[in-house]
Structure 1
Amino acid sequence: MTGPTSRRTVLTAALAAAAGAGAVSSAGPAGAAARSTAPRHGTRAGRPPVDNHFWTTRDDWRSGSGSGTRDAGGHRPGLVIGTPAGRTEYTDPHTGRTSGWEYATWTSPVHRSAVPATEMIASWNAETPPGTWTQVELCGTYTDETATPWYVMGRWAAGDGDIRRTSVDGQKDGRSSVWTDTLSVDDPAGGLRLVSYRLRLTLYRRPGSGLTPTVRRLGAMASDVPDRFTVPAATPGSAPELAVPRYSQNIHEGQYPEYDNGGEAWCSPTSSQMVIEYWGRRPTAEELAWVEPGTVDPQVCHAARFTYDYRYEGCGNWPFNAAYAATYRDMNAVVTRLGSLKDLEALVRSGIPVITSQSFLKEELTGAGYGTSGHLMAVIGFTAGGDVIANDPASPSDAAVRRVYRRREWENIWLRTKRYDANGQVRSGTGGVCYVYWPVGPSQEQHRVLESLGLL
């Protein structure tokens, strides 16, 4: 996002004020890709700041507790509806329609995080044919052994004909809150942490249809990234530039304004589409038939429509972007945090481009030509001197998307958790948030790097 002030930008200001007052606002975030979460506090020396855990194998699915679910079978493990556990009605808050649904549930075993966390973000990879959808919930346990409510982390469908995919506002218990897609401890400076969690998956289908969603991956990233305006410089490394397609969000300005006012806010889906196509996947002509004929790069409009969060009112919901990427054949996709540029270099060097989230003033990133309260771009390589090669969708044309950014500047704006805005007010940074997409059957080196980061 590089355009006018969004509702998410307003939330950033609210959170900064709340942090100073020792409380967190319950205002509902929306807008483009900027991300504002509760303030972070330092971690103990030597403790890793991020814990990734995912359920993906048949043994993983068997380790949980299912009611009406069964193994999907086939070459790739997953969960589907077997015999429905019951029937319910759902009133879509964005259409007002009430419909009946059969459902089945699966609850994970408790995962004790290696990182007592201030934040958690769930990810899921699923197929939802028309007439089906899914809901993901998370229940965390605090350091004092009390539990959070079951928080809804997303109601999701690949399409938008049955329900409108949505985050859920207003979820809090006085100690933690859900901000669109991120569960955050309200007062991390007080020492409270989330030490474990369970995930609950509900699969829905039209009654009697025999259809089913198929969930291939479910998990979460838990983190406790230290508060910091600057980060230590990592020793420069290099990584060959990857041949990632180049798409500009700005050439779509004003198109399909029902999806976050148009392309000027589409940095997240544009970046997602670039990386999806790098892996040889793209929407079919039939899938793109809804886009106005003659539209340049219609697949970017498609990505915006099918990542759009109707509560957030934007295309920058992090797990929704990952879930969109995973709708393509044999793709895996997660939201995580990386600890340094060395981790990012390792992924890119192995052939995996990474989509990163950052916010900065115009003068903080030489050559960008803009400032932003939140923006996504795809990192596709590193120069011999260690500078960052990025496909930056905030560009005037597809040809202008490739950029080279100064390593030290880029490293700091991506990994910091605090920053100053143009008025000198303290705002949040993402602390290394990124999307990682890769296909089933990665190379040996890709497998090694992904496993080292806890992403397999």
Structure 2
Amino acid sequence: MPGSASRRTVLAAALAAAAGTAAAGAVPASASEPGGTGEGAGAAAPATVANRFWSTFTDWRSGAAEGTRAVAGSRPGLVLDAPLGVTDYTDPHTGLTSSWEYARWTSPAHTPAVPATEVIASWNARTPAGTWLQVELAGRYADGTATPWFVMGRWASGDTDIRRTSVDGQTDGRSSVWTDTLAVDDPASGLRLVAYRLRLTLHRRPGSTLTPTVWRLGAMASDVPDRFTVPASVPGLARELAVPRYSQNTHVGQYPEYDNGGEAWCSPTSSQMILEYWGRRPSAAELAWVNPDYADPQVCHAARYTYDHQYEGCGNWPFNAAYAAGYPSMNAVVTRLRSLTDLETLIRAGIPAMTSQSFRAEELTGAGYGTSGHLMTVIGFTAAGDVIANDPASPTNEAVRRVYRRREWENVWLRTKRYNASGNVVSGTGGVCYLYFPERPTAAQRKALQAVGVV
């Protein structure tokens, strides 16, 4: 099956059981507020997504620093300055215990415009060998009670110090973490998260002067409509971007330790397509570990360095964004959009998008498969308004370019409830989208990103 959707299916089932009806949608977004970026997207639809990202020098100085320091420059960030002490970490995937110096930064409390059933954190950072970071989130409910600190990811650019991982089994009995998503257990109850804080913990080997550098940290708060169908948008653009084409299926059987090989690599394959559109790719030295007999070794590289050892897959949304942002002068966010009009806004400005959708084979004409979760790269629109997508679930690179019917594609992408092949109600992805864009976008690109709630 294309994509890696096991934890999406688990999330859907859990939410459906809790609500006693259908599953609410799972998914993300990104941006900011004073001193950073904007909230929401600019049309007159009801707000369902609110984004806040800390990324400026002023942003970093606004938080509570405990041994961290804000650094200025062309790309302001946060670094480890004076360690608070030393802590031991036992890696659950290797069993090894190591000691690490650490320091922390905690964001101010943020009240999003949208009381949320879900919150997803994401970050842009680089961790040299001998360093890593942890991202946590704590929220406040509408009744004034608070969540504990939930771990949203333990992450490193490489995989020699710790194993990159999400953390299962986190709940306060009202909300739970499902890999990369903090979700209210029973959305039908009306319970909502109305505020949150983020906490970064930066780690390094004792006695070293190394440090992670974090350029962007934030979260998407979302309360998506409960719906099987979505309003149809009116076509408004005919344009196609020249995005490289890669098939995940040409990698079937390669490096099965990373989620069974290419069979489930829709997310890293799509990530690589968009990175190369922006002119970024691994160096020959970085690809030296890949079997020289394998075509498109950069796809194998992307799979390895997005792999989540707890989820046992390459489909962790923030991990993909963090991987992309590790390339020179790249920003990456996980967001949620409202319509194909939003995607047209991005394509018009030259920004392709990676989207997540789920569907039965008969629901998307020409796909030839059904999936409980799959990533594609939207690269344009035909004169009739149909969607042009680089679909990695294709047999060859040459076959990757597909044209899908606008109305079908819009619905399978934006709905939050659907019937699976067994006739059961499960969740839809509700407009999930990864956006990768340069640190210094053009004026037109910045305007488009602002229009969809991201800068």
Gaps of 5+ in 1: 25-34, 38-44
Aligned match of 2:285:
286
Contact 1:16 1:426 in 2 (8 A): no
Q: Distance in 1 between matches of 2:210 and 2:348?
A: 41
Aligned match of 2:402:
403
1:240 is displaced (CA, Å) by 1.6
Aligned match of 2:2:
2
Aligned match of 2:184:
185
Q: Distance in 1 between matches of 2:421 and 2:182?
A: 28
Q: Distance in 1 between matches of 2:45 and 2:259?
A: 41
1:98 is displaced (CA, Å) by 0.4
Q: Distance in 2 between matches of 1:73 and 1:47?
A: 37
For residues 1-400 of structure 1, the aligned pairs below 5 Å read 1-2=1-2, 7-8=6-7, 11=10, 14-15=13-14, 18-19=17-18, 21=20, 47-400=46-399
Q: Distance in 2 between matches of 1:293 and 1:62?
A: 46
Contact 1:354 1:380 in 2 (8 A): yes
The residue matched to 1:164 in structure 2 has which SS?
A: coil
Q: Give the direction of change, closer, same or farther, for the CA distance of 1:7–1:50 in structure 2 (3 Å limit).
A: closer
Contact 1:53 1:454 in 2 (8 A): no
Deviations 1:286-318 (A, max 9, x none): 000010012100000000000000000000000
Q: Distance in 1 between matches of 2:451 and 2:326?
A: 25
Contact 2:266 2:392 in 1 (8 A): yes
The residue matched to 2:59 in structure 1 has which SS?
A: helix
Deviations 1:11-56 (A, max 9, x none): 25732651454899xxxxxxxxxx968xxxxxxx964000011000
Deviations 1:165-202 (A, max 9, x none): 00000011011011000010111111110111100001
Deviations 1:265-306 (A, max 9, x none): 000000000000100000000000010012100000000000
Q: Give the direction of change, closer, same or farther, for the CA distance of 1:16–1:68 in structure 2 (3 Å limit).
A: closer
1:239 is displaced (CA, Å) by 4.1
Contact 1:239 1:348 in 2 (8 A): no
Gaps of 5+ in 2: 28-43
Amino acid at match of 1:344: L
Q: Distance in 1 between matches of 2:105 and 2:198?
A: 8
Q: Distance in 1 between matches of 2:426 and 2:200?
A: 34
Contact 1:12 1:427 in 2 (8 A): no
Q: Distance in 2 between matches of 1:153 and 1:298?
A: 29
Amino acid at match of 1:432: G
Q: Distance in 1 between matches of 2:325 and 2:138?
A: 24
Deviations 1:354-378 (A, max 9, x none): 0000000000000111111100000
User: Scaled by the length of structure 1, what TM-score is found?
Assistant: 0.93
Amino acid at match of 2:2: T
Quick check: 262-271 or 445-454, which moved more?
A: 445-454
Aligned length: 438
Amino acid at match of 1:51: A
Contact 2:9 2:426 in 1 (8 A): no
How high is the sequence identity, in percent, across the aligned residues?
73
| Alignment RMSD | 1.7
Amino acid at match of 2:447: R
Aligned match of 1:434:
433
